[in-house]
């Protein structure tokens, strides 16, 4: 702190300011000590900050390694990538495949009659509904007409069967009843149909072109035009857009491109798919069909061992970087006989010890033969770093591919092929757990009691069900109720099931839920929810213009049921197909039971690999209340306390300086007074008469 000068004004030789300044230098020594201590604390904080940064970087390098997929990368190659390109996921199996592509999948395209203007109004502008259904056009000899044909884009004696994915609607009224307006309305509805206008240069040049957004034979279009609220359909719109391939006179558009499946063989097995991107023919492999082939295309799928080697090398590098940081922060330089800021620090020693302990331990719960780092060539060196024997690593990867993966990541494996590990929590302990299933998850369903093969309304024939225009049913699906519009027509049992499935699945209120419909061996209608477990359920009842008794009767409803059982002898809770442990070492372990029987279902092995364990450890170290947070919080409290001590000391020094100044000023005044008295007495004595 600064000192205040005081100057003698009485002629004495006392330097009050100098004396006070020297005394205050002594008084201020505690401030210097506090500053030294604070600098030491700040240096430690800086060192701990460096360690936190290194731990965070180390934790980041572990994130990918904690996931089993990081070690399960597969690679795929094609001998002719311009015809067939391939990609493999972690679920793919090694193997070789030969492909021959004879057809590529394509989407149907339809073109409407030409119009003289793209902006002129078409029809009266009355509100009209366009209904788009997607399905298969059948002209084979096995159809209901004994065969059909297509000439000039128009079908004769064809059958149309909906694909059951749901019909979509678009509303046309006076605001959009031009050709351009219709095109815009269809595109804006995003219903799986794209519309465009082509000018062909003729007398009525503007032609509406409709394309199914999805390729494949089961995505052909059927377009129905109807009025709203029972009103008749607008004649002009109906004559322009109606398209029923099963009605010889109900086709107002012509087909320019027929919907077609991709046709190819895999190892001699014929395959037909509605897309040129095929993901379900070879497990874990995506085939992109780009052109037909004149020669076989060879596809090879193999383990991507190089990715594992790269991951393990990255792990070793990340650890060595962290170790170097910890060592530098706590090192002792023998030549200079000086130690680093954190030399001998308990926190650093504890960090090193805990990480070293994890790396030296074996992985428990791993069902494989590889349980330690040394088995894959990762060992500690004399200087404390990790070393990697790449030859040993490559040999381990080649002979124990999946075991190396489970050495690092969190892995769950089940002995039952219908049981799958799904998730775990921090409370789940590694181990081998017996699984016992007391109930298998089911889907909600209903089964009618009307034999659709023998129904007879006296008009349409045996086995034919007629649905009138404007018919609806009320459906309850997975907790949601809605009115479902049924498409008018006459249906055999299979067609009726498909139509009802399409109608329910196309109802907006049921978005996210769906049903599958079929006819069982007794001819009864069956509807099954896509959802498993207690929330799954379905029922139907009478709506407008129909009685479900005609095709469903007094059927039965079966609610969905959650899976139930125990894991490792401990209690577990079921939700749909997922069973989650709620107590004991298996608490938080979640598995999926995909059907099968009740009773003992084998075992589930759960292992926490090195990367996962270290990631959890570093998270706890860096978390609020963790090891580093506790020590730095303590240091910050000490620094705060030093600040308080400094403030109090500075306040005391002000008082001390004032007292010193006052005391020495008083002394100076007193000495000055005494000096004056002395001078006076001297003068008086000098003036006394002298004795002879």
Tokens of 629: 């947070």
pLDDT in tens, 143-154: 889 999 999 999
Position 286 scores a pLDDT of 96
pLDDT tens for residues 100-131? 999 999 999 999 999 999 999 999 999 999 99
Q: Which residue has the higher pLDDT, 379 or 312?
A: 379
Question: How high does pLDDT run on average in the chain?
Answer: 88
**Cα distance between residue 331 and residue 511, in whole Å:** 64
The per-residue pLDDT for 692 is 55
CB burial of residue 407 (10 Å; 0-12, 13-18, 19+)? buried
CATH numeric code, 443-558: 2.60.40
Half-sphere exposure of 387 (CA within 13 A, CB side): 9
User: Does residue 11 register a pLDDT over 70?
Assistant: no
Q: What is the pLDDT of residue 493?
A: 92
DSSP state of 584: G
pLDDT of res. 367: 65
Question: Which of these CATH numbers, 3.30.40, 2.60.40, 3.40.50, 3.40.1130, describes 109-257?
Answer: 2.60.40
Q: Above 70 in pLDDT, residue 293?
A: yes
* Cα(416)–Cα(499) distance, integer angstroms: 38
pLDDT at 6 over 50: no
> What average pLDDT does this structure show over 156-180?
91
At 627, the pLDDT band (50, 70, 90 cuts) reads confident
Residue 77 has pLDDT above 90, yes or no: yes
User: Is 443-558 the same fold as 109-257?
Assistant: yes
Average pLDDT of span 65-82: 81
One-letter-per-residue 3-state SS of 283-338: CCEEEEECCCCCCCEEEEEEECHHHHHHHHHHHHHHHHHHHHHHHHHHCEECCCCE
Where in the chain are the domains? 74-104+262-303, 109-257, 419-441+563-608, 443-558
Averaged pLDDT, 631-635 = 86
Lowest mean pLDDT among 136-150, 222-236, 301-315, 482-496: 301-315
Distance, in Å, from the CA atom of 215 to the CA atom of 166, rounded to the nearest integer, reads: 16
Compute the CA torsion angle 593, 597, 601, 607 (nearest 10 deg).
-10
pLDDT for residue 2 is more than 70: no
CA distance 301 to 87: 9
Neighbours of 178 (CB within 10 A): 19
Neighbours of 389 (CB within 10 A): 14
| Average pLDDT rounded to a whole number, residues 234-240 | 94
Q: Max Cα separation, the chain?
A: 177
CA distances from 434 to 310, 565, 581, 602 (A): 35, 11, 12, 6
Contact, 246 vs 159, CB < 8 A?
yes
b/e code 21-36 from CB counts within 10 Å (16+ = b):
bebbeebbeeeeebee
634 pLDDT above the threshold of 90: no
Please tell me the predicted confidence (pLDDT) of residue 69. 67
pLDDT digits (tens, 9 = 90+) for 495-526: 899 889 988 998 889 988 999 999 999 999 99
Residue-level pLDDT at 305: 76
Choice between 175 and 412, residue whose per-residue pLDDT is larger: 175
pLDDT digits (tens, 9 = 90+) for 567-618: 999 999 999 999 999 999 999 999 999 999 999 999 998 888 888 888 888 8
- Please tell me the distance from the alpha carbon of residue 300 to that of residue 297, in angstroms, as a whole number: 10
Rounded mean pLDDT, 431-456: 94
The answer to whether 372 touches 362, Cβ cutoff 8 Å, is yes
- The pLDDT score that the predictor gives to residue 12 is 61
Bridge-based pairing state of the strands 489-491 and 168-172: unpaired
pLDDT band of residue 223 (cuts 50, 70, 90) is very high
CA nearest 332: which of 341, 324, 323? 341
pLDDT bin (cut points 50, 70, 90) of residue 4 is very low
Give the mean model confidence (pLDDT) for residues 267-292. 95
- Long-range CB pairs of 389-395 (<8 Å, 24+ gap) are 390/309, 393/309, 393/312, 394/305, 394/309
Q: How far apart are CA 128 and CA 62, in angstroms?
A: 60
pLDDT digits (tens, 9 = 90+) for 323-366: 998 888 888 777 877 888 888 888 888 888 898 888 888 887 66
Residue 539 has pLDDT above 80, yes or no: yes
613 Cβ partners below 8 Å, 6+ apart? 358
Q: 70: pLDDT confidence band, cut at 50, 70 and 90?
A: low
| pLDDT value for 475 | 93
The CA-atom distances, in angstroms, between 199 and each of 153, 184, 196, 208, 361 are: 19, 16, 10, 9, 75
244-264 pLDDT, tens digit each:
999 999 999 999 999 999 999
> Residue 412 burial by CB count (10 A; 0-12/13-18/19+): exposed, middle or buried?
buried
Q: Which residue has the higher pLDDT, 179 or 685?
A: 179
Mark 37-56 as b/e (b = at least 16 C-beta within 10 Å): ebeebeebbebbebbbebbe
pLDDT at 1 over 70: no
Q: Which residues contact 212 (CB under 8 A, 6 or more apart)?
A: 107, 108, 109, 134, 192, 193, 219, 220, 221, 259
Q: How many C-beta atoms lie closer than 10 Å to residue 204's C-beta?
A: 11
Pick the range with the lowest mean pLDDT from 167-176, 283-292, 339-348.
Answer: 339-348
Mean predicted confidence (pLDDT) in 301-305: 83
Beta bridge partners of 303: 74
Q: pLDDT digit string (tens) for 382-441?
A: 988 999 998 898 888 877 777 777 788 788 889 999 999 998 988 899 889 999 999 999
Confidence label for 5 from pLDDT (cuts 50, 70 and 90): very low
- Reported as a single tens digit per residue, the pLDDT across 24-66 is 888 888 888 888 888 888 888 888 888 888 888 888 877 767 7
């Amino acid at each position: 702190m600064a000192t205040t000068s005081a100057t003698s004004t009485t002629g004495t030789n006392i330097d009050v300011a100098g004396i006070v300044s020297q005394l205050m230098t002594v008084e201020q020594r505690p401030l210097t000590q506090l500053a030294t201590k604070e600098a030491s604390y700040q240096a430690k904080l800086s060192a701990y900050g460096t360690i936190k940064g290194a731990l965070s970087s180390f934790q980041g390098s572990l994130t990918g390694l904690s996931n089993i997929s990081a070690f399960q990368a597969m690679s795929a190659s094609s001998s002719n990538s311009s015809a067939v390109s391939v990609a493999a996921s972690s679920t793919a199996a090694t193997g070789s495949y030969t492909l021959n592509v004879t057809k590529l999948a394509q989407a149907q395209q339809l073109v409407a009659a030409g119009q003289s203007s793209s902006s002129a109004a078409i029809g009266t502008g009355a509100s009209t509904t366009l209904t788009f259904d997607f399905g298969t056009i059948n002209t084979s000899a096995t159809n209901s007409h004994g065969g059909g044909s297509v000439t000039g884009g128009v079908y004769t004696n064809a059958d149309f069967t909906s694909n059951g994915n749901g019909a979509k609607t678009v509303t046309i009224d006076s605001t959009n009843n031009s050709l351009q307006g219709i095109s815009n309305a269809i595109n804006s509805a995003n219903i799986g149909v794209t519309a465009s206008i082509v000018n062909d240069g003729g007398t009525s040049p503007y032609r509406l072109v409709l394309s199914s957004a999805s390729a494949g034979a089961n995505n052909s279009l059927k377009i129905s035009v109807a009025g709203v609220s029972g009103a008749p359909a607008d004649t002009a719109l109906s004559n322009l857009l109606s398209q029923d391939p099963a009605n010889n006179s109900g086709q107002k558009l012509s087909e320019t491109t027929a919907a077609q499946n991709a046709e190819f063989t895999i190892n001699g097995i014929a395959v037909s798919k509605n897309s040129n991107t095929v993901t379900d023919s070879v497990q874990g492999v995506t085939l992109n069909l780009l052109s037909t082939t004149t020669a076989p295309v060879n596809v090879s799928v193999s383990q991507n061992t190089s990715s594992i080697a790269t991951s393990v090398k990255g792990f070793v590098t990340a650890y060595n970087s962290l170790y170097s940081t910890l060592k530098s922060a706590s090192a002792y330089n023998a030549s200079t006989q000086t130690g680093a800021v954190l030399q001998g620090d308990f926190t650093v020693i504890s960090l090193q010890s805990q990480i070293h302990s994890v790396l030296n331990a074996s992985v428990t719960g791993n069902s494989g033969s590889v349980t330690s780092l040394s088995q894959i060539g990762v060992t500690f060196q004399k200087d404390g770093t990790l070393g990697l024997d790449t030859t040993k690593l490559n040999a381990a990867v080649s002979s124990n591919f999946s075991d190396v993966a489970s050495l690092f990541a969190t892995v769950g494996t089940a002995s039952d092929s219908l049981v799958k590990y799904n998730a775990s929590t921090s409370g789940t302990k590694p181990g081998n757990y017996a699984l016992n299933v007391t109930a298998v998850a089911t889907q909600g369903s209903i089964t009618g009691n009307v034999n659709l093969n023998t129904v007879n309304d006296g008009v349409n024939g045996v086995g034919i069900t007629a649905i009138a225009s404007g018919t609806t049913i009320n459906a309850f699906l997975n907790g949601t109720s809605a009115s479902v519009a049924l498409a008018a027509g006459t249906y055999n049992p299979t067609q009726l099931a498909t139509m009802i499935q399409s109608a329910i699945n196309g109802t907006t209120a049921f978005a996210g839920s769906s049903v599958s419909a079929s006819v069982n061996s007794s001819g009864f209608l069956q509807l099954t929810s896509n959802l498993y477990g207690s929330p799954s359920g379905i029922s139907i009842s009478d709506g407008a213009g129909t009685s479900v008794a005609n095709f469903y009767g007094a059927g039965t409803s079966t609610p969905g049921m959650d899976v139930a059982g125990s894991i490792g002898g401990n209690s577990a809770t079921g939700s749909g197909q997922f069973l989650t442990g709620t107590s004991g070492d298996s608490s938080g372990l979640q598995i999926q039971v995909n059907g099968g029987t009740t009773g003992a279902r084998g075992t589930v092995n759960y292992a926490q690999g090195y990367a996962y364990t270290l990631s959890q450890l570093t998270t706890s170290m860096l978390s609020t209340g963790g090891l580093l947070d506790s020590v730095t919080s303590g240091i910050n409290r000490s620094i705060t306390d030093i600040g308080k001590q400094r403030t109090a000391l500075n306040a005391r020094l002000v008082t001390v300086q004032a007292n010193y100044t006052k005391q020495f000023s008083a002394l100076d005044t007193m000495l000055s007074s005494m000096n004056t008295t002395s001078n006076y007495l001297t003068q008086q004595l000098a003036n006394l008469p002298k004795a002879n």
